[in-house]
Amino acid sequence: MRPRPQPEHSTPGMNGRLLAGLLAFAAVACAATAPSAPPPASATTPAKPAGTPELGWAEMGKQERIDYMKAVVLPHMKQAFVHFSPDRYSKMNCMTCHGDSAADGSFKMPNPRLPKLPSTPDGFKKLAADKPAVMEFMKNEVKPKMAALLGKQEYNPETNSGFGCMECHTMAQ
């Protein structure tokens, strides 16, 4: 697993304002609701959605990842985002999450143009208080679905591993 970025290593925020806001606010839920003990795998990673390949994300080549993202991840995640905010996400595409790196073909994540997340627990608490619906959506929909789609466990702060907020977002300084 790669180490989580620290606040001093962060980079700028993202294209779509509302999406960026939603992703940032939801990411707060990851840090604000950490379990005291690692939950069982079945609680942290939902069953793999239909279409999930047997080949793991880490074993896929670049073209296999692109094909999988287009055929499986984007449709599943677009459905979740459209359900959350139909007007905002009806035209969700690769650029929504990957920003400029979708256009240049690198698809780099985390995306430095997504909103930066707070660097302190108090910052996350404030974000969760300001945007509770977004935070619940990100915590209960986006994070677990993305973890399952990529064949990863959800982020566990005790082990500092798994799929979490910092897979997509950078942290404010």
Tokens of 88: 């905002």
Radius of gyration (C-alpha) of the chain in whole angstroms: 15
In the block, tokens 């650029």 appear at: 95
Give the residue from 119, 133, 143 showing the smallest Cα distance to 45: 143
**Could you give phi then psi for residue 7, rounded to 5 degrees?**
-50, -35
Q: How confident is the model at residue 125 (pLDDT cuts 50, 70, 90)?
A: very high
pLDDT above 70 for 45 = no
In the block, tokens 């780099």 appear at: 108
Q: Is 149 exposed, middle or buried (0-12, 13-18, 19+ CB in 10 A)?
A: buried
The three-state secondary structure class of 154 is strand
pLDDT above 70 for 15 = no
Beta strands in 10-147 (DSSP E): none
CA 7 to chain centre: 18
Q: What is the pLDDT of residue 169?
A: 87
- pTM score over 0.75: no
Tokens of 150: 């990529």
Residues in the chain: 173
Tokens of 55: 């080949």
